[in-house]
Amino acid sequence: MSRFFTTGSDSESESSASGDEVTPKPAGGNYSKPLLLSEDEEDTKRVVRSAKDKRFEELSGLIRTIRNAMKIRDVTRCLEEFELLGRAFAKAKGLLERDGPPRFYIRILADLEDYLAELWEDKEGKKRMNKNNAKALSSLRQKLRKYNRDYEALIGAYKQNPELSDEDEEKKSRDSEASSSSSSSADEDDAGSFLKKKDETRSRFLKGEEEEESEEGEAEGWGSSDTDTDSESDEDDGKYTSLASRFLKKDEERRGGGAERRRGEKPKRKRAPRSRREDDDDDNEGGEWEKVKGGAPLVKEKPKMFAKGTEITHAVVLKKLNEILQARGKKGTDRAAQIELLQLLVAVANENGLGAALEIKIKFSIIASLYDYNPNLATYMKPELWQRCLGCIEQLLDELFLHPEIFIGENILEESENLSNPEQPYRVRGCILTLVERMDEEFTKIMQNTDPHSQEYVEHLKDEARVCSIIARLQRYLQEKGSTEELCRVFLRRVLHTYYKFDYGAGDPHVGGRSALQGDGPDAGAEAAGEEDSAALMERLCKFIYAKDRTDRIRTCAILCHIYHHALHSRWYPAQDLMLMSHLQDNIQHADLPVQILYNRTMVQLGICAFRQGLIKDAHNALLDIQSSGRAKELLGQGLLLRSLQERNPEQEKVEKRRQVPFHMHVNLELLECVYLVAAMLLEIPYMAAHEFDARRRMISKQFHHQLRVGERQPLLGPPESMREHVVAASKAMKMGDWRSCHRYVVNEKMNGKVWDLFPEADKVRAMLVRKIQEESLRTYLFTYSSVYDSISMEILSAMFELDLPTVHSIISKMIINEELMASLDQPTQTVQMHRTEPTPQQNLALQLAEKLGALMENNERVLDHKQGSYGGYFRDQKDGYRKGDGGYLRRGGYRQQERGSNY
């Protein structure tokens, strides 16, 4: 820097510092001096800091961030900043070897340790934590415990006397602020002396030897980094006789003019470069400039696709298209700008009349670019991109319907494309079916990642009609020009959007139950004219897939969806026949996971359908596998269990979440559990009454027995509140033969609101429940109290259980035929004569001894067969009376043949 500029800057600083001293003005006048000062102002504010101060400032910033994260309970941020803090402290160890770790560093380690201990002990808070914070809590706790082993003595000393840390913390923070702020205080002697040395060094470098005498008087100053206070310190020491007079006496010119100058420095500093640029531009161009309001958005010109005067041909547009597509997927490519360029290219091709084939090819690239906008598969499309994608696909279908002479296909090579020669058929490489399938997958991801209890979910769900309309239009197009394989794929898409929807107008000819899948577009009129309901639509689509499909997966999904739709509309026997004929239960474990989830959903719907039809045993068998596992929510694809989250890594968890079923397709889990427990109650309670004293009694439903044990362990029995408590209370009433109490517990206002009103035909389901409760209560009553009767009138039983006489006669006859009840019917008197066939205590002991001896002999035979190498069932096949699981002696001496239900 020249001597002229340094003199100008020194003269200003001295004139601003001393109010009484009159300094000679430079020859340039009053207006040249501020311009020079504004250019050199940044140089005078530079601060020279030591490496130790830089490290301390870095550590302080990280500690401040950790404390802010602790306040908002952001454990993940605490973990990230703690790792950065450890690395920063490792870099600063060389500077801290003499003094050791600073006090504020020990303080944050101790505070963080106490904070994590408090979070770890808060069990309720840990349950409410999200998954990332919970994982970060355990990880940070382990890392901190390992890290604090090296500082146990210092942390212990801090915890014994934490007051000292506050003073040290304030000192260090003031030291760091004094090095960068002109208004910092100078209460500590160390901070003042440290900053004084830096100011001396800077002023000597800037001002030269003329300032050395003035800086010698600053030794007793405040240590501020402001140049005004530095330059006035030597004069004020001789001028003021007391410390109070230093602050009481202020010059008006210095007080007024100095403040105005300081306020004006920053705008001058910002305006000076702009004025220089404007002067240069005016000199270069000589044009007039129009002043605009600051901050107004500038209108960006559209990028020019082609140079001016270029002839727009097919080859030129294709070359430009390839240039745009070559940047696809590269790092640093602006995907939004790429989409805009492609849309601009479509407009250019349309303006120049280059033909529909070229426009279709560019639109294929636009839709593919929209799909590639999110590089991560786990993320879903933004709403504006989603709406643009739907619009582009609809436009592409419109073009294909308007120009049937254009052939598209993924097997067409780019070399064999014909985009410009009208004498030959137009051929474009691309697959519209693949784009529509990707669109359907994106719609599923949007529904999976949207809060199901928000209005946003409802708004997104309205787009399903638009999606279904696109699929229906694609089906019409492929029926004319597509292959059989493509037709099967698009049919499956329609089936997947139809099978879970209940068609309320299916049985009403006046409603004309049109499929819920058909859109409102103009292309849906063909099917609407035929008034095709969902059952006929599913039948037609699935039969085509059964006949034409060559892949097992599409056919399997179609069968499961068809069964689900039958069961949803209470068509039990067609659904059962289709399930048994397909033999899916034999090989479903080899299918992929989405198909297994669909199978589980189908089995659940099949069990609910059987329950609605009054087929209690079939309903229990269908729901047994899902409910007995205790993971119904996970098996149905409706969520992940918390205990299973710990068994998965983040990547596996993302994959599992992508398999989840959208909320509007969920099966009500409370309804499912209630149906299963009521079915188990109707089967288990009569069986328990019949085998009360049987040592070989088996459990039909383990989950139902668990609920009974939970109810028995309760010390106080109040009125039932939850669904499970209602079923347990109803079971106890049925066990006593009290069908009215059982009915009140199962069917009431609370249970109607939770479960029974959710069925399409709720009144029929409730009537079926009443009839089943009456019948099973009658069976339980006969099993329980038959030993105290010699005979009982069927008319009395009919009046007790409010059943008609033929029904009572039928139930008792079945019990006698199956040897469940040792009795006979007396037709003239309409009574049931009980037979005293109960064994004596000695006979009971003899029967038990015979059973145990038979089991011992069977085990010996098994051991012998195993040693001889022919492990088989000779003894078990010949001695039917001792086969395990086939039944046992009743307490009244009869032998009961167990009926085994078929599992699906």
Our measurement of the distance from residue 133's CA atom to the centroid of its chain's CA atoms, rounded to an integer in Å, reads 15
Cβ neighbourhood burial of 794 (10 Å; 0-12, 13-18, 19+): buried
Region of residue 346 (phi > 0: left; psi between -120 and 50: alpha; otherwise: beta): alpha
Q: Which two tokens stand for residue 742?
A: 């059982």
- The bridge status of strand 791-793 relative to strand 823-826 is unpaired
Distance separating alpha carbons of residues 591 and 578, to the nearest angstrom: 18
Distance separating alpha carbons of residues 524 and 532, to the nearest angstrom: 11
Distance separating alpha carbons of residues 778 and 792, to the nearest angstrom: 13
Distance separating alpha carbons of residues 517 and 469, to the nearest angstrom: 7
- What pLDDT score was predicted for residue 65? 92
| Element at 475 (helix H, strand E) | helix 463-481
- What pLDDT score was predicted for residue 597? 93
Q: Give tens-digit pLDDT for 818-831.
A: 888 888 888 888 88
CB 74 within 8 A of CB 125: no
For residue 675, give the nearest of 751, 744, 783 by alpha carbon.
751
Q: Read off the DSSP letter of residue 294.
A: T
Distance separating alpha carbons of residues 568 and 588, to the nearest angstrom: 21
DSSP for 731-787, written as a single string: HHHHHTT-HHHHHHHHSSHHHHHHTGGGSTTHHHHHHHHHHHHHHHHHHHHHHHHGG
Q: Which two tokens stand for residue 44?
A: 């005078």
For residue 520, give the nearest of 577, 470, 486 by alpha carbon.
470
Architecture of domain 789-838: Orthogonal Bundle (1.10)
**Distant-in-sequence, close-in-space partners of 465: CB < 8 Å, separation ≥ 6:** 519, 520
**Distant-in-sequence, close-in-space partners of 802: CB < 8 Å, separation ≥ 6:** 774
Instruction: Spell out, as residue ranges, where the chain has pLDDT lower than 50.
Output: 1-44, 169-170, 172-173, 176-243, 245, 249-287, 293-302, 508-530, 871-904
For residue 773, give the nearest of 676, 687, 685 by alpha carbon.
685
The angle, 0 to 180 degrees and rounded to 10, between the axes of the packed helices 593-612 and 762-785 is 70
Question: What one-letter code names the amino acid at 175?
Answer: D
- What pLDDT score was predicted for residue 168? 53
CB 231 within 8 A of CB 261: no
Using the structure block, give the residue that is written with the tokens 């140049």: 227
- What pLDDT score was predicted for residue 100? 80
Cβ neighbourhood burial of 82 (10 Å; 0-12, 13-18, 19+): buried
Using the structure block, give the residue that is written with the tokens 């820097």: 1
CB 493 within 8 A of CB 443: no
- What pLDDT score was predicted for residue 604? 94
Alpha helices per DSSP H over 616-717: 616-628, 632-635, 642-645, 650-658, 669-690, 702-713
- Read off the pTM: 0.61
Using the structure block, give the residue that is written with the tokens 């600073």: 102
**Distant-in-sequence, close-in-space partners of 710: CB < 8 Å, separation ≥ 6:** 724, 728
For residue 602, give the nearest of 629, 617, 628, 582 by alpha carbon.
582
- What pLDDT score was predicted for residue 36? 39
Distance separating alpha carbons of residues 676 and 722, to the nearest angstrom: 15
> Could you give the 3-state DSSP secondary structure of residue 834?
strand
Q: Read off the DSSP letter of residue 889.
A: B
Distance separating alpha carbons of residues 426 and 407, to the nearest angstrom: 6
- What pLDDT score was predicted for residue 203? 44
> Could you give the 3-state DSSP secondary structure of residue 259?
helix
CB 380 within 8 A of CB 374: yes
DSSP for 608-639, written as a single string: HHHHHTT-HHHHHHHHHHHHHTT-HHHHTTS-
CB 231 within 8 A of CB 17: yes
Distance separating alpha carbons of residues 763 and 668, to the nearest angstrom: 19
* β-pair partners for 793: 831
- What pLDDT score was predicted for residue 476? 93
End-to-end distance of the chain based on CA atoms, in angstroms?
A: 93
Distance separating alpha carbons of residues 741 and 776, to the nearest angstrom: 14
Using the structure block, give the residue that is written with the tokens 């209940």: 502
Question: What one-letter code names the amino acid at 618?
Answer: D
- What pLDDT score was predicted for residue 276? 42
> Could you give the 3-state DSSP secondary structure of residue 825?
strand
**Distant-in-sequence, close-in-space partners of 873: CB < 8 Å, separation ≥ 6:** none
- Per-domain boundaries in the chain: 51-161, 314-503+533-548, 789-838
Q: Which two tokens stand for residue 235?
A: 């004069």
For residue 77, give the nearest of 66, 89, 86, 87 by alpha carbon.
66
Distance separating alpha carbons of residues 781 and 894, to the nearest angstrom: 19
Q: Give tens-digit pLDDT for 145-168.
A: 888 888 888 888 888 887 655 555
CA dihedral (778, 781, 783, 784) in degrees, to 10, reads: 170
